[in-house]
Amino acid sequence: MTRSEDGANALTEIGADVHRGDLEDLESLKKGTKDAEAVIHLAFNHDFSKFAENCEQDKRVIEALGSVLTGSDRPLIVPSGLAGLTEAGQKATEDMTRPKDSPFPRKSEETALSLNGVKAAAIRLSQVHNTVKQGLITNAIKIARDKGVSAYIGDGMNKWAAVHVSDAARLFRLALEKFEAGSVYHAVAEEAIPMRDIAEAIGRSLDVPVTSIAPEEAEEHFGWFIKFAGNDLMASSTITQEKLGWTPTGPSLIEDLKHMRSV
């Protein structure tokens, strides 16, 4: 499925049939799901100025997909995130569940796994990267470019997990081929990269200074990104690797930041 002409052309070039659809058009999603043997839901509106609103849209999308899959053996695989799973300094594992009082508004995993009569699984994404995009870190790059300085908060020792996009794609394929309803997997190659290291890599690539920002000044510098910038988003994928035979082999996050393309 794609919503753009460029997307349609790219799919046609690799021999795929194209279904045109959009997150705001639930009927287009239902129509595409009707004849699908399986559904992997990856789309999300990344305008974080209205993050909570976009999470509610995502919930409606998953419910719409599920309404067509109900009562069938056709799998539904959705992405999820690591935020809200752990306390500071903890590493998330696949067997953890997000507390009901978590402030993290994205509920894709919880929505999909609660659909009656739908065989669903979830893959929690760390920072998915290549040389063009780096998950949430793409926003840190934009802030550094706009402000002329690459910053981290305090000592910068809060840590994030990451995975190369090629490894993440292979994980989704394996999860589909070895599908097990109710499963939760972690797309994690590197478990705990210090934000200071990430900020320094960004600084080198953009040729801007790197500095520490005091916690009380961080919101002014980072804006909405403060919700993530000072937190730990660490995770393990030991269970995932053992269950699916998945071994990440792609470049590291720092390596991709070193060679990132200016876009």
What stretch of H or E contains 27? helix 26-34
Task: Identify the pLDDT of residue 102.
Answer: 78
Task: Identify the pLDDT of residue 47.
Answer: 84
Whether the predicted model's global pTM rises above the 0.85 cut: yes
Task: Identify the pLDDT of residue 186.
Answer: 98
Task: Identify the pLDDT of residue 48.
Answer: 77
Beta-carbon contacts of 158 under 8 Å, excluding residues fewer than 6 positions away, are: 88, 194, 195, 230, 231, 232
| Homologous superfamily, domain 36-258 | NAD(P)-binding Rossmann-like Domain (3.40.50.720)
- Domains of the chain, residue spans: 36-258
Q: pLDDT tens digits, the chain, 263 residues: what are they?
A: 999 999 999 999 999 999 999 999 999 999 999 999 999 999 998 887 788 899 999 999 999 999 999 999 999 999 999 988 888 899 999 999 988 777 777 889 999 999 999 999 999 999 999 999 999 999 999 999 999 999 999 999 999 999 999 999 999 999 999 999 999 999 999 999 999 999 999 999 999 999 999 999 999 999 989 989 999 999 999 999 999 999 999 999 999 999 998 64
Q: CA 193, CA 206: separation in Å to the nearest integer? A: 19
Instruction: Let me know: does 121 contact 94? Beta carbons within 8 Å.
Output: no
Task: Identify the pLDDT of residue 227.
Answer: 85
Beta-carbon contacts of 220 under 8 Å, excluding residues fewer than 6 positions away, are: none
Where are any strands of DSSP class E within 88-215? 120-125, 127-129, 150-153, 159-164, 184-187, 190-194, 210-213
Residue with tokens 């210090």: 194
Task: Identify the pLDDT of residue 262.
Answer: 62
